[in-house]
Structure 1
Amino acid sequence: MEVAMKAMDALKSLRETRLSAFRSPTEFFDFTRVSKPESFNVATQRITYNTRYFSGNYVIIIAMLSVYAVIMNPLLLISVGLLVGGFIGINKWAPEPMQVGDHTVTQKHLYTGLFVVGIPLLFFASPFATVFWILGASGVLVLGHAALLEPGIESEYASVEESV
């Protein structure tokens, strides 16, 4: 129960900090402001401004890419589900040692069995390749969008507000 409360608090703080900066899709996909940056300096300035300004939108994009990557790798989905479900099942239904025939089965034995099955299955599901795909795809999308989109007129006033 305590873990659920912590997760809810974390989601609430994420919503208040990152998703409060969510911009409308018409502003995010404003094709009239798309242009090639004149230099690397201009691209860096655009990336710096746009990543802060559209941070909520970028978090949503990265989350959608993560969900897509996990759904498209069913072995990873099964192995993570097996490990998480195994932990939950062992904690819920086997807190005490049980007698099976002549053997006493403890939580330690059950966790060992779960690891013997789950870790090789997770290894074959290539989680590192999935993580690197998410990093690469989100990097290309976020940095590409941020570099190509000219900051709006409000960016001129942002530097004035910071200096005051």
Structure 2
Amino acid sequence: MEQLMKVGDFVRGFREQRLSTLKSPMDFFDHRQVSRPKDLTEATSRITHNTRYFSGNYLLIIALLAIYAMLTNPLLLISLGFLAGGFAAINRFASEPIQIGSMVITQKSLYITLFVIGLPLLYLGSPVSTFFWLVGSSAILILGHACLMEPGLESEYGNVETV
């Protein structure tokens, strides 16, 4: 129960910090600010500014791509669910050794069985290729958007102090 409260606090803090920086879709998809950078220096400065300015939107893109990757790879979803559910079930219901007839089943033997079944299943779900697909597609989308979007007026006046 205490762990669930920690997870709830983490989610609440994440929502307050990161998702509060979400920009409106009108600002994020403003086609009037799209232009090709003149050189590498301008592209780098645009990427630097836009990754800070649209950080909440970019995190949302990564989350949506991760959900898409999990939904389109059902074996990976099943294997992760099997492993997570197995860990939860073993921790909750089998904290003490169980005796069935003359055989004693310990928590250690349950974990070994879970790994013997779960790890080959996870390997078949190809988590490494899914991870690299997520990294590559996120990088292309985010860097492409950040490079093509001209910084708005707020970037030019960001260093000006108000009196």
Same fold judged by TM-score > 0.5? yes
RMSD: 1.2
Give, in whole Å, the separation in 2 of the partners of 1:39 and 1:13.
Answer: 39
- Give 1:109's aligned residue: 109
Stretches of structure 1 lacking an aligned partner (at least 5 in a row): none
- Give 1:138's aligned residue: 138
Give the secondary structure class of the aligned counterpart of 1:35: coil
Q: Which runs of 4+ in 1 moved over 2 A?
A: none
- Give 1:17's aligned residue: 17
- Is the counterpart of residue 124 in structure 1 residue 115 in structure 2? no
Aligned length: 162
- Give 1:157's aligned residue: 157
- TM superposition shift of 1:101: 2.1
- Give 1:99's aligned residue: 99
The equivalences for 1:8-87 within 5 A come to 8-87=8-87
- TM superposition shift of 1:160: 2.6
Stretches of structure 2 lacking an aligned partner (at least 5 in a row): none
**Overall identity of the aligned pairs, in %:** 57
- TM superposition shift of 1:35: 0.5
TM-score by length of 1: 0.95
TM-score by length of 2: 0.96
| One-letter identity of the residue aligned with 1:41 | T
Give, in whole Å, the separation in 2 of the partners of 1:41 and 1:121.
Answer: 47
Per-residue deviation, residues 54-112 of structure 1 (Å, max 9, x unmatched): 00100100000000001111010000000000011111111111112211001111111
